[in-house]
Amino acid sequence: MLDSSLCCETLHGADINNGSVLRRVYKKTRPFFDSPCDLRLVRTYVADVLDATVEAVSVSRLKSRAIMVKIGSGFDACFMAIAYYMNSELHTV
């Protein structure tokens, strides 16, 4: 997940070697649900799969890791932040 509620998906084999990686970025996000609790509080978002762009994203922009699950008819994806990685250490354990 990126800053400002942006979600992204790493494209396999897309290393650019300058500290950036090609990622599919989902810019329009909304909370998975907002009642009785707004799930943005725990960084759980729904994004429109059809409204994504491919960008070279610097590793320094990553704020947390997330699990992506396609939902419904496949036109939406749910991103759920992994709490353990919600710090500056985004290396693989």
Q: Is residue 1 part of a domain?
A: no
- The position carrying tokens 């800053």 is 3
| pLDDT bucket at 25, cuts 50 / 70 / 90 | very high
Domain extent for 30 = 7-85
Counted domains in the chain: 1
Q: Is residue 75 part of a domain?
A: yes
Helix (H), strand (E) at residue 13: strand 7-15
Q: What is the mean pLDDT of residues 67-82?
A: 85
Q: Is residue 68 part of a domain?
A: yes
Render pLDDT for 46-57 as a digit per residue (tens, 0 to 9): 898 888 999 888
Q: Is residue 80 part of a domain?
A: yes
Q: Is residue 12 part of a domain?
A: yes
Can you tell me whether residue 46 is helix, strand or coil?
strand
Q: Is residue 74 part of a domain?
A: yes
Q: Is residue 46 part of a domain?
A: yes
Q: Kindly report the number of other CB atoms within 10 A of residue 91's CB atom.
A: 5
Tokens of 37: 């609790």
Q: Is residue 90 part of a domain?
A: no
Q: What is the mean pLDDT of the chain?
A: 78
